[in-house]
C-alpha cells in the first residue's frame, strides 16, 4: 500500500504480558519506511531496552524520540523496567505524541485468554491479565485490535489487510516473516483432547438427517 511519507503516524503496540508485542514489533519494523524496534540477529530483547522504554516511565522524553514520520513503539502492561514491574504511562505518551503532531493509534494485541494466563503464570509466576484489561478500559485513545491467532493463521494475507486497515505500511510480503512465524508460540500450550461431552452431539449432527437420533 502507499502511505504519505510526510504524514506523521505513531503506532503503539501493546497488550497483556506475553501476548506477542515482541512478535508484532519485529514484523512492523521490517518496512523500510518505518522506524521501530530493530532486533538485529536476536530473537528476544528485554522490554526496557526497547527504544521508547524510558518514555513509558518518563513521558516527557517522548518528543525527543519522535524523529521520524512513521514510527512504532512497543510496551506490555505491565512491563519490567530495570527489574521492577511497572505500569507504563501509555496515556501520557499518547498526549505527548499528539501534541507533537502525530496521529497515534494504540494497537492492543488479542491472544487467547487461557493461553495468555498460562504463559504469564509459567514465565512470570503470576497472572497479570486482569491488570492489563482494567488499564486498557480507561485509556483515552484511538484503538485498533490486532490478533495473535490471526497472524499465525493467515500470515501475509492478514498483515496486508492490517496495513490497509491501519493505513500504515507493513512489509507483508517480506521473506523474513516466514522465519519469524516459523514456530507457533501457542502450540506448547495446546494438548489433544481425547473426549469431550459435546462430541456425541456433534457426531450426531453431521449424520444425514434420516440417521440422526
- Bond preceding residue 78 cis, omega within 30 of 0: yes
pLDDT score for 76:
97
Q: Cell numbers 531496552 label which residue?
A: 49
Please report, for the chain, the start and end positions of each structural domain, with discontinuous segments joined by +.
Answer: 9-184
For residue 67, give every residue at least 6 positions away whose Cβ sits within 8 Å of its Cβ, in sequence order, or none. 35
pLDDT score for 41:
80
Res 32 pLDDT > 80: yes
Share the mean pLDDT of the chain. 94
For residue 69, give every residue at least 6 positions away whose Cβ sits within 8 Å of its Cβ, in sequence order, or none. 5, 6, 7, 8, 9
pLDDT digit string (tens) for 131-173? 999 999 999 999 999 999 999 999 999 999 999 999 999 999 9
pLDDT score for 5:
63
pLDDT classification of 22: cutoffs 50, 70, 90: very high
pLDDT classification of 38: cutoffs 50, 70, 90: confident
CATH number, span 9-184: 3.40.50
Q: Of the candidates 58, 51, 54, which has an alpha carbon nearest to the alpha carbon of residue 10?
A: 51
pLDDT digit string (tens) for 52-87? 999 999 999 999 999 999 999 999 999 999 999 999
Tell me the DSSP string of 123-138. Answer: HTSS--HHHHHHHHHT
Q: Of the candidates 146, 158, 134, 72, which has an alpha carbon nearest to the alpha carbon of residue 108?
A: 146
Q: Of the candidates 105, 67, 77, which has an alpha carbon nearest to the alpha carbon of residue 19?
A: 77
pTM above 0.85, yes or no: yes
Amino acid at each position: 500500500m502507499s502511505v504519505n511519507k510526510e504524514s506523521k503516524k505513531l503506532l503503539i503496540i501493546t497488550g497483556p504480558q506475553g501476548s506477542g508485542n515482541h512478535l508484532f514489533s519485529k514484523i512492523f519494523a521490517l518496512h523500510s519506511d518505518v522506524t521501530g524496534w530493530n532486533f538485529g540477529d536476536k530473537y528476544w530483547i528485554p522490554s526496557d531496552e526497547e527504544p521508547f522504554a524510558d518514555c513509558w516511565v518518563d513521558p516527557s522524553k517522548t518528543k525527543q524520540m519522535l524523529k521520524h514520520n512513521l514510527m512504532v513503539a512497543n510496551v506490555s502492561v505491565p512491563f519490567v523496567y530495570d527489574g521492577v514491574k511497572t505500569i507504563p504511562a501509555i496515556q501520557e505518551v499518547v498526549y505527548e505524541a499528539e501534541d507533537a503532531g502525530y496521529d497515534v493509534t494504540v494497537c492492543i494485541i488479542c491472544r487467547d485468554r487461557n493461553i495468555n494466563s498460562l504463559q504469564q503464570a509459567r514465565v512470570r509466576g503470576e497472572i497479570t491479565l486482569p491488570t492489563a484489561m482494567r488499564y486498557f478500559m480507561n485509556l483515552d485513545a484511538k484503538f485498533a485490535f490486532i490478533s495473535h491467532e490471526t497472524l499465525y493463521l493467515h500470515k501475509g494475507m492478514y498483515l496486508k489487510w492490517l496495513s490497509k486497515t491501519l493505513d500504515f505500511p507493513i512489509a507483508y510480503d517480506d521473506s523474513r516473516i516466514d522465519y519469524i512465524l516459523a514456530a507457533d508460540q501457542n502450540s506448547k500450550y495446546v494438548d489433544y483432547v481425547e473426549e469431550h461431552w459435546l462430541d456425541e452431539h456433534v457426531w450426531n449432527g453431521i449424520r444425514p438427517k434420516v440417521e440422526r437420533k
